[in-house]
Amino acid sequence: MSIRFYNSLTKSSEEFTSLEPNVVRMYSCGPTVYDFAHIGNFRSFLFADLIRRFLEVEGYDVTHVMNITDVGHMTEDHLADGGGEDKMELAAKRLKEDKKSGKVPEGALDNPDDPYQVAQYFTDAFLDDARKLGMKIAFEYPEHIPHATNHIEDMQEMIAELIKNGHAYIGNDQAVYYSVESFPNYGKLSGNSLDQLREGSGGRVEEADQSNKKHPGDFLLWKPDQSHIMKWDSPWGTGYPGWHIECSVMAKKLLGRDVIDIHTGGEDLIFPHHECEIAQSCGCSGKESFARFWMHARFLLVEGEKMSKSKGNFYTVRDVLSGKVTGRDVHPAVLRYELIRSHYRSNMNFTEKGLRDSAGAVRKLTELNAKLEAQTKGEAAEIDNSYPVIAEFLGALRDDLNISGALGVLFTWISSKPDNPHEALAALRIVNRVLDVAPMEHAAELESKEESSGSDAFDVKALCQGIDDARTNKDYAKADELRTKLQDAGYEVRNSPEGTVATKQLA
C-alpha cells in the first residue's frame, strides 16, 4: 500500500514518492524566537516530527531542517511586505523589564539590549521544550536547526540572483522587492490572484508604501535601514532581510537541493510566507517546483479561537508541564500524545479533559511496555513491518497520517491481550518509534541532565529516604511534611517492602 499525503499545493491527496529513492528532504518553518513557543506552535512542530518518524519507520532516510527566525519578522507580516515593528526589538524591550522585575533566571541574559542574546535565550528555551516533547530534530541543533542570522550572506546572494534574472527590483524607497508579476505561479498555493492581491492590500498598506512598489503584492527582500537593531552591509545599503527569504535560502543550503520533497508549517503560513518562498526559490532556480509536497497543520484552538502570541490566549509548554494550567504537573509524554493524537488537518481544541484522556492512554502504553519488558527481560522477537498489528498501524498512517485510525488499531490490539510477549514487545517498540511516548526515546538523558544541572528539580529519592528516616525516628510530623511536599509536586506516595516510593502522576 502506497503512502498518500494531502498536498496543499494541488489541494488533493497524492501518492507520496521521494525524488531520490529512500531519501526524504524535508523543511519546516521553525519558531520566531521573540518569546516562548506555545503549545499551538508545538502542534505544528510535532506534526512535522510525526511525519519524519513515520517515514523513518517506513524505511526512508529523512533529513529534516527547521529554521530559527531571529531576524526580519515584523509585527505586520500578515501583509506581504511586512511592516510595523521588529518583533525581536519588541522582545528586547520586554525582556529588559522582565530582567528588572526578576522574571529572568539569575545568570541568564546579561545584556537584554543585545538582540543576539535575546534570540539565544528563547532559542535555548525552544530547544529545551522541544527535547522534552521528543522532537527528534531538537537533538540535531545546530546542524539541522540554523539561525537565519547565520545566513545573511546566502540571502544576499539569492537576492542578487533574483535581481539579475528580473524577479526583483529596487523600489523608490531603495528597498529590494520581489515582483509578483514576474512569477506566473504566484498565488497558486494560496489561491490568490494578482488582482485580488491588488484590491486586498490596497486598503491596508499605506499609500506611501504603495508608491515604492510596482504592484501592491510585491514583497520585501531587503530593507536598507541604518536605525534597525540588527543590520548588515549589503549592495543595497545597510539594513536587514525580509522574513520570507530566509527559508528559501536555508532550505536550499542545508538540504543541498533546489527541489525538496516536503515542506511543512502551520496553516497561517500558506500566505504570504509559503507563497513567497515558492516565488523566491523557483525564481532563483528556474525550476517548476520548490517543495513537491506542501503540508500544513490546522490550528490549535482555545475556546474556538486560534491560540496565538499576539492574542495573548496561549499556554507555553513550560506552563502546561509545570502544572500552571491544570494545577497538576503533566508528563511531557502526555502533552506530546495530546498534541499529536488528532488529525493534523482538523482543528484541535485544547482542554483539560483531553489531557486527562491522553494521560490514560500513555499510562496504558507505559504499563504494557513495563509488563512486556519484565516478562521478556527485554528480549524482543524479530518482526518487520508486515507483522499484523504493525501493518495495520502503518496502513492507517499511510492514509494521510490517519493518526486516530492508527491509535484505534493500537488500542484494539492491546485490548485483545496479545499472547506472545516477545512479539508484542517488538511491535510496541516499532509503534513507539513513531509515537515516542512509552518510554520517550530521550527521557533518561533529559532527566539525568536536569538532575546534574542542579535546577529546582528536587531529589525524589532523598525525600523518600527522609520520610523513612523520620518514621524510624518517630518524627511523624516531619514524615507528613515530606510526603505533602512530594504530593504537591504531583507524586503519588506509597509504602512498599523497600520503603517509601514516589511515582509521578502523568496528569
Of residues 11 through 40, those in contact with ligand AMP by CB under 6 A are: 29, 31-32, 40
Among 9, 26, 29, 189, interactor with Zn ion by CB under 5 A:
29
| From ligand AMP, Zn ion, none, interface partner of 268 (C-beta below 5 to 8 A by class) | ligand AMP
CB 121 within 8 A of CB 128: no
Among 82, 266, 272, 490, interactor with ligand AMP by CB under 6 A:
266
d(CA 188, CA 7): 12
Residue 308 touches ligand AMP, criterion: CB under 6 A: yes
d(CA 367, CA 427): 15
Residue 109 touches Zn ion, criterion: CB under 5 A: no
Instruction: Tell me the closest approach of the beta carbon of residue 293 to Zn ion, in angstroms.
Output: 15
d(CA 96, CA 114): 10
CB 212 within 8 A of CB 173: yes
d(CA 490, CA 246): 43
Judged by beta carbon, residue 31 or residue 283, the one nearer ligand AMP is: 31
Helices 245-255, 275-285: inter-axial angle, 10-degree rounding:
50
Count of beta carbons in the 10 Å neighbourhood of residue 313: 15
d(CA 13, CA 5): 5
Single-letter code of the amino acid located at 277: E
- Any residues with CB less than 8 A from the CB of 481 and at least 6 apart, and which? none
Instruction: Tell me the closest approach of the beta carbon of residue 246 to Zn ion, in angstroms.
Output: 7
| From ligand AMP, Zn ion, none, interface partner of 308 (C-beta below 5 to 8 A by class) | ligand AMP
| From ligand AMP, Zn ion, none, interface partner of 32 (C-beta below 5 to 8 A by class) | ligand AMP
CB 179 within 8 A of CB 218: yes
Of residues 225 through 254, those in contact with Zn ion by CB under 5 A are: 247
Judged by beta carbon, residue 215 or residue 274, the one nearer ligand AMP is: 274
Binding-site size for Zn ion (CB under 5 A) equals 2
| From Zn ion, ligand AMP, none, interface partner of 98 (C-beta below 5 to 8 A by class) | none
C-alpha cell at 452: 546534574
DSSP class of residue 76 equals T
Binding-site size for ligand AMP (CB under 6 A) equals 17
Per-position x/- string for 49-88, each x denoting binding to ligand AMP as judged by CB under 6 A, each - no binding: ----------------------------------------
Binding-site ranges for ligand AMP (CB under 6 A):
29, 31-32, 40-41, 43-44, 265-266, 268-269, 297, 299-300, 306-308
